[in-house]
Chain A
Amino acid sequence: MLRRALQHRSFLLGVILVGLMVAAALISLAWTPYAPERMRVGPPFAGPSWAHWLGTDSFGRDTFSRIIVGAQNSIMVGVVAVGIGLVIGVPLGVAAAAYRGWWDEVLGRMVDLTFAFPAILTAVMITALMGPGAVNSILAIGIFNVAVFARVSRGAALQVYGREFPRAALALGRGRSDIAIRHILPNIASALIVQATIQFAIAILAEAALSYLGFGTQPPHPSWGKMLLDAQSMMWIDWTQAIYPGVAIALAVLGLNLLGDGLRDLLDPRLRVFRVG
């Protein structure tokens, strides 16, 4: 397995890119070249230099410091939004596969209903109701993930329930929840891991989009989407600032997607990844 992983080039690239993002976030917890929210640590719109590796923005804030602190933000959003999806969606999906009948039907309709509202629309509606902010945007992305994980775990669990060993376990007198935890979950874990990686990437994109619209992380805390919005309004003076946050988002998402595709190849090449925005 390890040898196959080391030979899988796009998987390795994914590991490196995700590793870089995590490292940037961890380092920024302990150290940044400048306080990311402090204005006038350098002249406004300074180009890249030894003092400011990626230059400064219109307020003279250090862009490199803001980019690496922004990685914290993206990782936090991804982890919580995917966590919400896993914790709520997987039990719902597995239960639907185990019990079938009306429960399965109701869940199916609810998932369909959630998908009638594309993720960004759900997020916009929740923000309209609860006001902008990082927590509300995570919640909105999380709700969408619940539907995704419910559907994926239902499909994967149905396949496992169709095999002989869950039926054997039932014949031996094991309880339904016992079978679900001991036999079903371990067998659908690879599908969930791969999907979680993809949803992580989608969460980062969605959070950046919401922050760009002004609904996500609020200033002065740095987020890549908000940095792009600020940079766009100043693009006629300094276009370079509109480049770095976009590159950061694209590399993070690229890394997670490559990691997800690589994990699928390594764990179970027959898995179908569910992609929906």
Chain B
Amino acid sequence: MLSFLARRFLTLVGTAFAASLVVFLVLEVVPGDPALLQLGIEASPEAVERLRAEMGLNRSAVVRYVDWISGLLTLDFGRSFTYSTPVGELIAQRIAVTLPLALMALVVSTLIAIPLGMFAAANRNRAGDYGVMTFSQIGVAVPNFWFGILLILLFAVHWQVFDTGFPGWDEGLFAGLKALVLPAAALALGEAAILARITRSAVLETMREDYVRTARAKGLSRWQVMTRHVLRNALIPISTIVGLQFALLLAGSIIIEEVFQLPGLGKLLIQAIGQRDFQVIKNAVVLFAVLVVFVNFLVDALYAAIDPRPKQA
């Protein structure tokens, strides 16, 4: 078990480093001159040279990469050229919106999907099952950003019970969480649709097991069998998917934050691209990638902990 986790952790570190190398190569080496790219081709040679010096581009790529990585390891992300503030501060402010958003979406998705999937499995090939499967097909097909627009249309424009935008956590926990309700719902739809389908098949698979039949035969009610035996065992594959979905929700926040004008990490990244602020872009992209890889590692660890079968790398 420990050696399995150690191996997975080494893979995590390796992938994270490789990801940082890819980002560095793509954003700093391939384009030739990031300073020129940032200022545009009409910029004067003096201005480009000044920015080159400021960005430290006169040093070799290897030195810059090592510098950047050692900075990252001490949480020093460099300075943003647009905001003239440390990138670390910007990221810390923005992640305080993105992480709660993704977590809330995960909770919403799981709370909707698991009961729906169990209900569908318990009513296999009956109207309820078809209803849930239809919801699942539609949920996967509806783009989350369009669903977000529809939610704004209904709840902010028509009924005016929610506002768009984010008041900030200084306005209180309730105000902050309220502002995240619609975005989290928009983000959750697609994942809930997929999770409901996976829950259904995991539950159906478990229901075919001998111990479930035995439990029924010894007189337990359908509900007791469902909650005590079926759900507990089906939760093993389901929890893996829930974990993996968290990574997708983090990535999905890039577009949902744009729809709802939330000042999160995704919005920061999109703004930085518009402003060609490479210092912010490369750090934000690497942070997203590392979060995704780290979440996948946690899922593996969780799976190893709850699945009693022997482990392989």
Q: Measuring CB to CB, which residues of chain A are less than 8 angstroms from any residue of chain B?
A: 10, 109, 112-113, 115-121, 124-129, 201, 205, 208-209, 212-213, 215, 228, 231-232, 235-236, 239, 242, 245-246, 249-251, 253-254, 257-258, 275, 277
Is B304's CB within 8 Å of the partner chain A?
Answer: no
Name 14 interchain pairs, CB-CB below 8 A, sorted by A.
A116-B293, A118-B292, A121-B254, A125-B27, A125-B281, A127-B273, A129-B30, A201-B141, A209-B255, A213-B254, A246-B143, A246-B146, A254-B138, A254-B141
Within 8 Å CB of B22, what residues of A?
Answer: 113, 117
Stretch at the interface among B147-155, B165-173, B203-211, B213-221: B147-155
Chain B interface residue count, Cβ-Cβ cutoff 8 angstroms = 46
Given contacts A116-B293, A117-B289, A120-B251, contact A232 B259 (CB under 8 A): yes
Within 8 Å CB of A118, what residues of B?
Answer: 247-248, 250-251, 288, 292
Residue pair A232, B143 in contact (C-beta under 8 Å): no
Residue of A nearest to B292 (CB): A116
Chain B 244-281, CB-CB to A under 8 Å as 1, else 0, gives 00011011101100110000000001100100101001
- What's the minimum C-beta distance from B152 to chain A, rounded to whole angstroms? 7
Residue pair B255, A121 in contact (C-beta under 8 Å): no
Residue pair B149, A228 in contact (C-beta under 8 Å): yes
- What's the minimum C-beta distance from A135 to chain B, rounded to whole angstroms? 17
Q: How far is the CA of A215 from the CA of B273 in the complex (A)?
A: 10
Given contacts A113-B19, A117-B19, A129-B27, contact A246 B149 (CB under 8 A): yes
Q: How far is the CA of A258 from the CA of B137 in the complex (A)?
A: 8
Within 8 Å CB of A116, what residues of B?
Answer: 15-16, 18-19, 289, 292-293
Residue pair B19, A124 in contact (C-beta under 8 Å): no
Contacting B269 at CB < 8 Å: which of A115, A117, A124, A232? A124
- What's the minimum C-beta distance from A26 to chain B, rounded to whole angstroms? 22
Tell me the dominant secondary structure on chain A's binding face: helix
Residue of B nearest to A130 (CB): B31
Chain B 1-28, CB-CB to A under 8 Å as 1, else 0, gives 0000000000100111011001100110
Contacting A235 at CB < 8 Å: which of B14, B149, B248? B149
- What's the minimum C-beta distance from B203 to chain A, rounded to whole angstroms? 18
Is B285's CB within 8 Å of the partner chain A?
Answer: yes
Within 8 Å CB of B11, what residues of A?
Answer: 112
Residue pair B27, A236 in contact (C-beta under 8 Å): no
Is B157's CB within 8 Å of the partner chain A?
Answer: yes
